[in-house]
Amino acid sequence: MTETARPRTEGLESQSKNSQQGAQSAPSGNVQHGAQSAQPGNAQQGAQSAQSGNAQSAVAAPGPTPAPRSRPERPQHVAVVESVERITPNLVRIIAGGAGLADVEDKGFTDSYVKILFADPALGLEPPFNLANLRETLPPEQLPVTRTYTVRWFDLENQRLALDVVVHGDSGIAAPWAASAMPGNRFAFHGPSGAYAPAPHTRFHVFAGDHSALPAITAALERLPEDARGVAHIELTDARDIIHPNAPEGVELNWLINEDVHDVDLLARTLDAGPWGESDGVFVFAHGERESIKAVRRVLARRGITRESISISGYWARGRAEDVFQAEKRLPIGKIEEDAA
C-alpha cells in the first residue's frame, strides 16, 4: 500500500534548520559578539585599559577569526533493490535490503520517511557519496540531490524495507528511477525520520491526504486497534490507483477522484463535511499537496481543532521540484500554519 514520493514531494525531506554559521552564533541574551562585550563600569574595551601610572597602552592585537562551523554530514545507508512491483498503474513498490540497513532504526512512526540521494548518472558515482569532497570539486548543478519517500514498512530483523513511489510520466528524477529500478541497483539514503503514530487514546481518527500520503495513511490504518473508529479521505487523480488497505471496520475509507488540478479545495470540502465523531478525542493526520493542505488547515482552524490534535504538512507543491519546494518552506508561500490564521 502506499512514502509515495514525498514531493513529500517529496517524487510525486522535512525538520528544524540551523541558520548559517559562517561565524559563531551569539549566545542567548547577547546582541553582538564581534568584539568582547563591555564589562560593568567600563565604557570601551576595544583596546586594553591603561595600566596605573601609564598614559597610553598598546592596543591589543586582534585574535584569530573563528573558523566557520561545519555541519556534520548525515549518515548514509546504502540499500540494494531486491524487487520491484507495480502495485497500481501509478504506484511502484521497491523492496530493498542489504547489510547497509544493519544500523537503520525503526522508531515506530507510521509516517517514517527517508531521503534518497540521486547523483548525476553522467558522473558514474557509486553510493555512498563523499558529499564534502563533491561540494569542493563539482559545480552546484552537478551535486547529488535528495528526494523524500515514506517507508511503507520495515522488516529490519531481515534488513529490509519497502518504499511505495508514485510515478506520473517520465519527468523529474525519482519517478523515472523507480519505474526503471531493477534488482541489484544500489542507492544511498539519509534517515529514517518521522513524527506520527496513532495514539491509543484517540477516540476518532481523521486522515486526509493525496497519493503522496497514501503510504503513511495506509501504515497508520494497519496500526489501529480493531475497535478503532474514524475516516480516511484519500484524493487520487486516477480511480485505478485505489487500493484496499487492512483497516478496522469502524474506519471509513473515502476515495476522492479529482481530475481537475485547479480544484485544490476538494479534500478540504470533503473533510469539512465529516464525519467527525465525538466533539473531543479527535486527531487529524493531514498531508499532501501544499495548497490543498493549506485549505485543510483553514477548515481545522475554523472548527477549533487544537494544534496538539493535528499532524499536518505539505509533502509537495504542484509545479515545484523538491529542492524549490523545500526552500520555499522558509517563505510565506510555504507556510501551512500562517495560512490558517
- Containing 191, the helix (H) or strand (E) segment is strand 186-193
Distance CA 134, CA 273 (A): 51
Q: Which pLDDT value is given to residue 197?
A: 97
CB 106 within 8 A of CB 154: yes
Residue 321 sits at φ, ψ, to 5 deg, of -70, 160
Q: Which pLDDT value is given to residue 279?
A: 65
Cα distances (Å, whole numbers) of residue 132 to 70, 115, 144, 185? 10, 17, 11, 24
Q: Which pLDDT value is given to residue 309?
A: 95
pLDDT digits (tens, 9 = 90+) for 46-56: 434 334 444 44
Alpha-helical regions (H) of the chain: 131-137, 174-180, 214-223, 266-273, 290-302, 322-328, 336-339
**Orientation of helix 290-302 relative to helix 266-273, angle to 10°:** 30
Distance CA 239, CA 111 (A): 24
Q: Which pLDDT value is given to residue 168?
A: 75
Side-chain half-sphere CA neighbours of 198 within 13 A:
23
CA proximity to 166, closest of 187, 147, 183: 147
Distance CA 165, CA 149 (A): 7
Q: In what order do the strands lie in the sheet with 204-210?
A: 251-257, 230-236, 204-210, 282-289, 310-316
Q: List the Cα angle 277/337/28 in 5-degree steps.
A: 125
Regions in the chain scoring below 50 on pLDDT: 1-62, 65, 67-68
Q: Which pLDDT value is given to residue 1?
A: 37
pLDDT digits (tens, 9 = 90+) for 270-280: 999 999 987 68
